[in-house]
């Protein structure tokens, strides 16, 4: 059983990383597009408010943009401001996700510490051992509680609010149920069988060393549920966690002007050579974009 559990976990991580990577590569390989920014452009400002702006130096402050988005990850401020009842469900639900990811990263480091001979417990001699123990405990417990609450409230919101219900799919409700199972089994396992997450850390030691460890029934159920959830995630819209950054940096805040002789201009010169197959009467089907642009119908 322990071998199955370990192999399933390896596979789940490998699968989600692979599919997310494929999806992200597909996204990033799309050609350069026309400017379609929306203001305020947080990482820059409004340079077109200036006379002769093209002659003036422009500076992108990517860190500012990144921090803006990061802040929103941890607050979901737009929802809190514009639809508080919705935020009441969506916020704990998302916090559940964020914290369970941090929990697993910490478990990985916890396992690594144990492999390196540093005990992870509340009375560990090493500070890092005590820190990891506490951080794993807090992130795990808060994640499970927030996730359980969030899954229920989000599902109720989708059912009770007509605006949301009419646009909801069966998959939405399946996802809420699935996340509830993941968080609930995690909570149950922690509360009744593994209050210090000792088993979980040992499980990670097994994953890191290849000497797989068995765990109790409820921890096993939680690990299986979580693994299947990881396998399921690429088939949902969950990648919005990452593509949101792309949408802001590559679309909404992408105000890079086309300066003569720039790399951007070279890329644009290339895409303008692409041939079009649109077939309305005013279009010269089969011509390149640059030829079509110079044609007067």
Partner 1 sequence: MRIEDISKKSEILLKLKKEDFMPLPHPYEKGDLEPEIRDLTEEQLKKIEASLDGISGVGLKKPETKEEENELIRKFLSGLEKLLSPDDNWTFLMPFYHSLEYCVKCQLCSDYCPIYLSSGKKEIYRPTFRAEILRRITERYVKKKKRLTRLISVGDIELNWQTVARLAELAYRCTLCRRCAKVCPLGVDNGLITHEIRKLFSQEMGIAPRELHELGTIQQLKVGSSTGITSRALSNIIEFMEEDIEEKTGRKIKIPVDKEGAEILLLHNAGEFLSWPENTEAFAILFDIAGIDWTLSSELVGYDAVNYGVWYDDIQLARIATRHAEIAKKLKVKKISLGECGHAHKAMIVIADRILVGDLNIPRESAIPLLRELVLSGKLKLDPRRNNFPVTLHDPCNMVRLMGIVKPQREILRRICPDFREMEPHGVDNYCCGGGSGFAIMQSMNFPDWRNSISGRMKLKQILEVFSDVISPEVKKYVCAPCSNCKGQLRDLFNYFGVNKRCGIFYGGLAELIVNALADLKRPFIDWEWH
Site for partner 1 in 90-119 (CB under 8 A): 90
| CA dist., res. 9 & res. 188, Å (int) | 20
Check residue 257 for interaction with partner 1 (CB under 8 A): yes
Q: Which of 33, 61, 64, 71 binds partner 1 (CB under 8 A)?
A: 33
Site string for partner 1, 126-165 (x = CB under 8 A): -------------------------------------xx-
206-225 residues in contact with partner 1 (CB under 8 A) are: none
Check residue 48 for interaction with partner 1 (CB under 8 A): yes
Q: Going by C-beta distance under 8 Å and a sequence separation of 6 or more, which residues neighbour residue 133? A: 110, 120, 121, 122, 124, 196
Q: Which of 19, 42, 138, 168 binds partner 1 (CB under 8 A)?
A: 168
At closest approach, how far in Å is the CB of 169 from partner 1? 6
228-247 residues in contact with partner 1 (CB under 8 A) are: 237, 239-240, 243-244, 246-247
181, β-bridge pairs: none
Please list the alpha-helical segments (H only) found in 116-197: 127-160, 162-165, 170-192
Check residue 122 for interaction with partner 1 (CB under 8 A): no
Which tokens is 216 given? 């109790």
| CA dist., res. 290 & res. 270, Å (int) | 10
Check residue 297 for interaction with partner 1 (CB under 8 A): yes
| CA dist., res. 52 & res. 47, Å (int) | 10
At closest approach, how far in Å is the CB of 34 from partner 1? 5
| CA dist., res. 167 & res. 297, Å (int) | 43
Closer CB to partner 1, 72 or 214, in the complex = 72
Q: Going by C-beta distance under 8 Å and a sequence separation of 6 or more, which residues neighbour residue 163? A: none
At closest approach, how far in Å is the CB of 160 from partner 1? 13
Check residue 24 for interaction with partner 1 (CB under 8 A): no
| CA dist., res. 110 & res. 130, Å (int) | 10
Q: Which of 3, 14, 70, 78 binds partner 1 (CB under 8 A)?
A: 78
Which tokens is 77 given? 């401020």
């Amino acid at each position: 059983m322990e071998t199955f559990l370990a192999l399933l976990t390896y596979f789940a991580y490998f699968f989600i990383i692979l599919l997310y990577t494929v999806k992200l590569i597909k996204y990033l390989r799309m050609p350069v597009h026309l400017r379609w920014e929306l203001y305020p452009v947080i990482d820059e400002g409004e340079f077109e408010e200036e006379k002769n702006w093209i002659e003036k130096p422009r500076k992108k402050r990517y860190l500012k943009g990144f921090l803006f988005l990061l802040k929103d990850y941890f607050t979901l401020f737009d929802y809190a401001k514009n639809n508080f009842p919705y935020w009441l469900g969506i916020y704990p639900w998302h916090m559940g996700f964020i914290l369970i990811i941090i929990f697993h990263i910490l478990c990985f480091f916890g396992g690594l510490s144990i492999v390196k001979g540093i005990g992870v417990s509340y009375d560990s001699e090493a500070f890092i051992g005590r820190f990891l123990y506490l951080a794993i405990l807090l992130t795990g417990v808060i994640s499970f509680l927030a996730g359980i609450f969030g899954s229920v409230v989000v599902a109720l919101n989708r059912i009770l609010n007509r605006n949301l219900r009419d646009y909801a799919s069966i998959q939405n409700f399946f996802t809420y149920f699935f996340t509830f199972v993941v968080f609930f089994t995690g909570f149950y396992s922690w509360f009744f069988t593994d209050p210090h997450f000792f088993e979980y850390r040992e499980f990670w030691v097994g994953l890191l060393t290849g000497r797989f460890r068995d765990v109790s029934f409820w921890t096993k159920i939680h690990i299986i549920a979580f693994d299947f959830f990881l396998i399921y995630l690429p088939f949902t819209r969950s990648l919005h966690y990452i593509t949101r950054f792309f949408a802001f940096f590559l679309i909404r805040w992408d105000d890079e002007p086309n300066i003569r002789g720039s790399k951007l201009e070279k890329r644009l010169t290339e895409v303008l050579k692409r041939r079009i197959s649109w077939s309305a009467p005013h279009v010269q089907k089969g011509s390149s974009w640059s030829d079509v642009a110079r044609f007067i119908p």
